[in-house]
Amino acid sequence: MMRKKMSPTAAMFRAVAAFILGLGLPGIATNPLSAAEPKTGPKVANYGGPFEPLTRPAFIPLPPGEIEPQGWLRDWCLTARDGYTGHMDEMHPDFRKAWAADYRMTGDQLAYWDKGAWPYEGGGYWFEGLVRLGYALHDDSLIRQAKTRLDVVVTNMNEKSILFMWWLDRNNPDHVQAAAKAAGGEAQEWPIWANGLMGRALAAYYAASGDKRILRAMEAAYGGDPSLVRKGWSMSNPWAAFEAYTWTGSPKIKAALTELFANNPIQAPNRTIDLYHSWYNRLPDETIPWYLQPDHGVHFNESVAPWALGYLWTGDPAFLQAASRWYDIIERGDDGMQPHGVPVSDENKGATGSFRGTETCNVAGYMMTQIALLRVGGNGRMADRVERAFFNAAPAAVSRDFKAHVYFQSPNRINRDLPGSGPFIYRQTHFPLCCTASLNRLLPGYVGHMWMATDDHGLAALHYGPCQVSALVADRMPVALTCQTDYPFNDFIDIAVNPVRPAVFPLAIRIPGWCATPELSVNGSPGNGAPDANGFVRLERLWKPGDRIHLRFPMTARVKVGHDNDAQDTPYATVSYGPLLFALAIPDPKDANTPDAAVPWNYALDAPGGNAETNLAVERQPMPARWDWPFESPLKLHALARRFDWKLLPRESLPIGRSISKGTASAFPIAKVRTLLPAEPVVGGGAPEPITLIPYGCAKFRISMFPITERARKAFVSEKPWPRDLDR
C-alpha cells in the first residue's frame, strides 16, 4: 500500500474548526440550511417511501418509466438497447456468469476480482442500466431480461445471506471472511463493493415495479450484518440501504445507517492518505490541488457522494457541504476537471491535461454523484455538471453504434497512437470489463433524472432534452408533460403541461448556469427568467390542460483559456457553445479508430482583432432523421486558426518531481501519460484560416484543448484563480 505522509498546519485546522463551528468559509455554494428544517406536514409529497427521514431532500426521483425519452435522445437510447444494453451476454461470456444461479464464488475466488469475482461488479452495473433503460423505453423485452437476471437474487435471498450473496452463510466464518476480505492492492473488500451495485440495481427494480419480493430481498441483505455497509470499498451500499429503509422502515437498517453517520462525523483534512482507504467524511485539503490528494477515480466518486446522505439522515449540513467541497476543488484552476466535463481518472486522479485519460466508469460515476448531490442539496450547478458530462464525455466514450467503447477518453486524440493505442481505442470490450458494464448506466441515468418531484407536490425540470413525463402533482393528480426540443443542438424548449384537470402546483425550472439571458414565457406571456440562488425559477399557478411553457436559453460561443497542468502550465483554449464543448473536426470515414490522415490537425486558435468570440460563426443544419452523434453535425462553429509546425515533443508531466512521489497519484507510470501541447503560445505559423468545429461528442478524433497564438493569449482573459503552491 502506497502512502504519503504530510503534516497539517495549524492554520488549516483553524479554518476547518471555523467551518465546523458554523462560521463558514467563503465559497461554499450549497445552501442546505433551509432544507434542514424538519417538515411536519403531509408524510411525503407524492413520491418517496413511508419511512422518510425528517430532513428532506430537495428533489425526489420519479420511478423509472415515468420519464420517457423522445426525439434525438430516444434514438440514442434505442441504439444503446440494440448495442450493449440488450446484448451484454453476447459481448463477453463473463456477463452470462454475472449473478447467475450456477456461478457462486467462495473463498479466494470471491475475494479477488481477478480470480473470478469480477462479474459481480459487472452484473451490478449492467443490471441497473438494463432495468432503468427497459422501463424508460417501456420495452418489454429489456424488462423481461432484467427480471430474469435480478430474480435469481430476489428469489434465492434468505436470512443467512451475506448481503445479496444468497449462497453464502453469515454464520460461517469462512464465508464472512471471504466476503469482507481486504485483499490488498485495488481489491479492498471487493465483494462488498460489488454488492452495493447490485443493491442499486434492485432499488431501481423495486422503484419501477413495486414488487414486494424485491423489498424483502433488500431488507434481508441490509438488515443482516450492519458492519458490511461501512467497510472501505463498500460505500456503494449506503444509498441502496437508505432506499430500502425508506420503503421498509427496517429497524436493523436504521441502526446500521445511524451507526455509520454517528461514528463518522465530518472531520478535518488529513494529509496521511492511504490510497483506497480514504474516507470522505474527511474534508478536502483546500490548500493543495485536488490531484495531489490521491485516490482511484471510481473509488473517489463512489465514496464521496454517500456522505451527502449523512445530511438527510442526521440533519447536519456539514455532511453535504463536505461532499460538495470535494467536487468544488476539482474545478479550481486546472486541478483535474477536463473540458468534456468529467475529471481526470487514468485510473487515479490527475491534473487537467490534453492527453490525460478519463475512465468510462467515471463518466457514469461522476454523473450519478452529481445527481445525488443535486437530489440532496438542490443546487442547479450540479445539473450544469451533469449536462456537461452527458452531452460531451458520454458520447465520446462509445462508438456511434453503441457496440464499441474506450476505456479512457482524452480531450485531444490525434491518431490511433496518440495519446495511446490500448485503452484509448474503441473496442467491444476492454480489460478489465468494468467500463463495458458501467457504460450501460449512462443514458438511463440521465433520462431517469431529467425531472424529479419536489416536496411541495410539484415537479422540477433538472436536465434538458426531448422527453415525455407522466407524474403525480398536487393531491396525487396525474399530469403529462411533453418537452419538445432538440436541446442542446438548439436553444429552446417547449413544455406542454397537461394536468387531468386544472390545479395549482409548482414547477421549478432550472436555468443553466452558463446562460446570461434566459427567456421564459407561459402561454405567450413573458415571465421573470431570473433564477434564485440555486438556479431555479419557480412557477406556481393554476395549471390547465393545454398550458405551454416556452423556454429559451440563448447560447453564445465561449472561449476559455486554461493551463495544462499536466504539461507544466502550457496554455490552452477551449471553445464551448451552451453546454457543448467543440472540437476540431478530424474525419473518421472508415471507423472510430482510423482518422483521415490527409486532414491537418496542427492548428493554434487565433484571435485577430483581439477577440476570439467575435471570430466564431455558428452554422446550423436540420437535425438528421435518426441521431447517432454524426460527424456531419447539425451544429458547427467556424473559427480562425493558424497552422504551425506542431512538434510532438513529450515532456514530463505533473506531478513528477513535485510534491508527490511517482506512482502515488496514479496507478499508471505517469511518465507515460504525456501531453504534447506546445510549451509557449505559438508565434508565427501560417496565415489565419477558417477551421470547422463540431460537438466533441460527434468527433472520434479531435483537438478540443487548442494551442493558442501569441496574440490570442493577449486577447483571452486567463481563468486561473487558484494560486499554485505545489511545494507546500
Q: How far is the CB of 296 from Zn ion (least distance, A)?
A: 10
- Spatial neighbors of 210 by CB under 8 A, at least 6 apart, are none
Q: How far is the CB of 197 from Zn ion (least distance, A)?
A: 12
Stretch that binds Zn ion, among 221-229, 412-420, 432-440, 616-624 (CB under 5 A): 432-440
Stretch that binds Zn ion, among 31-39, 122-130, 355-363, 519-527 (CB under 5 A): 355-363
The smaller minimum CB distance to Zn ion, of residues 64 and 423, is found at 423
Beta bridge pairs of residue 503: 543
Is residue 320 involved in binding Zn ion (CB under 5 A)? no
The smaller minimum CB distance to Zn ion, of residues 357 and 562, is found at 357
Q: How far is the CB of 434 from Zn ion (least distance, A)?
A: 3
Secondary element (H or E) of residue 202: helix 190-209
Tell me the C-alpha distance between 87 and 102, whole Å: 20
Q: Which among 383, 382, 274 is positioned nearest to 320, based on CA atoms?
A: 382
The smaller minimum CB distance to Zn ion, of residues 195 and 615, is found at 195
The smaller minimum CB distance to Zn ion, of residues 297 and 341, is found at 297
Is residue 363 involved in binding Zn ion (CB under 5 A)? no
Stretch that binds Zn ion, among 211-219, 353-361, 500-508, 636-644 (CB under 5 A): 353-361
Secondary element (H or E) of residue 640: strand 635-643
Stretch that binds Zn ion, among 51-59, 308-316, 352-360, 599-607 (CB under 5 A): 352-360
Q: How far is the CB of 171 from Zn ion (least distance, A)?
A: 35
Label each residue of 511-542 as H, E or C.
CCCCCCCCEEEECCEECCCCCCCCCEEEEEEE
Tell me the C-alpha distance between 214 and 245, whole Å: 13
Q: How far is the CB of 295 from Zn ion (least distance, A)?
A: 15
First-to-final CA distance of the chain: 23
3-state secondary structure of 459: strand
Stretch that binds Zn ion, among 266-274, 427-435, 474-482, 654-662 (CB under 5 A): 427-435
Stretch that binds Zn ion, among 139-147, 207-215, 356-364, 714-722 (CB under 5 A): 356-364
Q: How far is the CB of 347 from Zn ion (least distance, A)?
A: 8
| 638 class by beta-carbon count within 10 Å (0-12 exposed, 13-18 middle, 19+ buried) | middle
Tell me the C-alpha distance between 682 and 714, whole Å: 12
Secondary element (H or E) of residue 564: strand 557-564
Q: How far is the CB of 341 from Zn ion (least distance, A)?
A: 17
Tell me the C-alpha distance between 97 and 149, whole Å: 10
Stretch that binds Zn ion, among 114-122, 428-436, 503-511, 639-647 (CB under 5 A): 428-436
The smaller minimum CB distance to Zn ion, of residues 314 and 362, is found at 362
The smaller minimum CB distance to Zn ion, of residues 361 and 580, is found at 361
The smaller minimum CB distance to Zn ion, of residues 177 and 421, is found at 421
Q: What is the DSSP letter of 182?
A: B
Q: How far is the CB of 363 from Zn ion (least distance, A)?
A: 9
3-state secondary structure of 222: helix
The smaller minimum CB distance to Zn ion, of residues 237 and 301, is found at 301
Q: How far is the CB of 418 from Zn ion (least distance, A)?
A: 22
The smaller minimum CB distance to Zn ion, of residues 296 and 463, is found at 296
Q: How far is the CB of 98 from Zn ion (least distance, A)?
A: 15
Stretch that binds Zn ion, among 49-57, 148-156, 433-441, 589-597 (CB under 5 A): 433-441
The smaller minimum CB distance to Zn ion, of residues 359 and 588, is found at 359
Q: What are 590's three cell numbers?
A: 472508415
Stretch that binds Zn ion, among 361-369, 383-391, 695-703, 704-712 (CB under 5 A): 361-369
3-state secondary structure of 672: helix
Distance of CA 35 to the CA centre of its chain: 24
Strands 503-510 and 459-461: parallel
| 159 class by beta-carbon count within 10 Å (0-12 exposed, 13-18 middle, 19+ buried) | exposed
Q: What are 118's three cell numbers?
A: 469480477
The smaller minimum CB distance to Zn ion, of residues 296 and 642, is found at 296
Q: Which among 411, 395, 505 is positioned nearest to 456, based on CA atoms?
A: 505
| 194-215 core/surface letters (b: 16 or more CB in 10 A; e: else) | bbbbbbbbbbbbbbbbebeebb
Q: How far is the CB of 430 from Zn ion (least distance, A)?
A: 8
Indicate the length of the chain as a whole number. Answer: 728
The smaller minimum CB distance to Zn ion, of residues 302 and 455, is found at 302
Q: According to CB under 5 A, which residues from 118 to 147 bind Zn ion?
A: none
Tell me the C-alpha distance between 340 and 410, whole Å: 9
Stretch that binds Zn ion, among 254-262, 360-368, 597-605, 702-710 (CB under 5 A): 360-368
Q: Is 210 left (phi over 0), alpha (psi -120 to 50) or beta?
A: left
| Half-sphere CA count of 387, side-chain side, radius 13 A | 25
Q: How far is the CB of 362 from Zn ion (least distance, A)?
A: 7
Q: How far is the CB of 235 from Zn ion (least distance, A)?
A: 17
Q: What is the DSSP letter of 666?
A: -
Q: How far is the CB of 438 from Zn ion (least distance, A)?
A: 6
Q: How far is the CB of 433 from Zn ion (least distance, A)?
A: 8
The smaller minimum CB distance to Zn ion, of residues 207 and 361, is found at 361
Stretch that binds Zn ion, among 62-70, 339-347, 351-359, 581-589 (CB under 5 A): 351-359
- Give me the 385-424 binding string for Zn ion, x by CB under 5 A, dash otherwise: ----------------------------------------
The smaller minimum CB distance to Zn ion, of residues 440 and 454, is found at 440
Q: How far is the CB of 305 from Zn ion (least distance, A)?
A: 17
Strands 557-564 and 570-577: antiparallel
Q: How far is the CB of 360 from Zn ion (least distance, A)?
A: 6
The angle subtended at Cα 243 by Cα 237 and Cα 245, nearest 5°, is: 100
The smaller minimum CB distance to Zn ion, of residues 120 and 706, is found at 120
Q: According to CB under 5 A, which residues from 153 to 212 bind Zn ion?
A: none
Is residue 435 involved in binding Zn ion (CB under 5 A)? yes
The smaller minimum CB distance to Zn ion, of residues 61 and 357, is found at 357
The smaller minimum CB distance to Zn ion, of residues 187 and 214, is found at 187
Select the residue interacting with Zn ion from 73, 361, 467, 607 (CB under 5 A).
361
Stretch that binds Zn ion, among 39-47, 430-438, 566-574, 652-660 (CB under 5 A): 430-438
The smaller minimum CB distance to Zn ion, of residues 360 and 633, is found at 360
Cis, peptide link before residue 655, omega less than 30° from 0: yes
- Total of residues contacting Zn ion (CB under 5 A): 4
Long-range contacts of the stretch 650-653 (C-beta < 8 A, 24+): 650/674, 650/676, 651/567, 651/568, 651/675, 651/676, 651/679, 652/568, 653/351, 653/353, 653/566, 653/567, 653/568
Stretch that binds Zn ion, among 300-308, 429-437, 442-450, 532-540 (CB under 5 A): 429-437
Helical segments of 306-458, H only: 308-314, 318-328, 360-377, 380-388, 394-397, 434-438, 442-447
Q: Which among 344, 352, 418, 342 is positioned nearest to 561, based on CA atoms?
A: 352
Cis, peptide link before residue 159, omega less than 30° from 0: no
Is residue 434 involved in binding Zn ion (CB under 5 A)? yes
Contact 505, 540 (CB under 8 A): yes
Q: How far is the CB of 435 from Zn ion (least distance, A)?
A: 4
Q: According to CB under 5 A, which residues from 25 to 84 bind Zn ion?
A: none
Is residue 439 involved in binding Zn ion (CB under 5 A)? no
Contact 23, 219 (CB under 8 A): no
Residue in the block written with cell 456522505? 307
| Residues at the site binding Zn ion, with contacts judged by CB under 5 A | 359, 361, 434-435
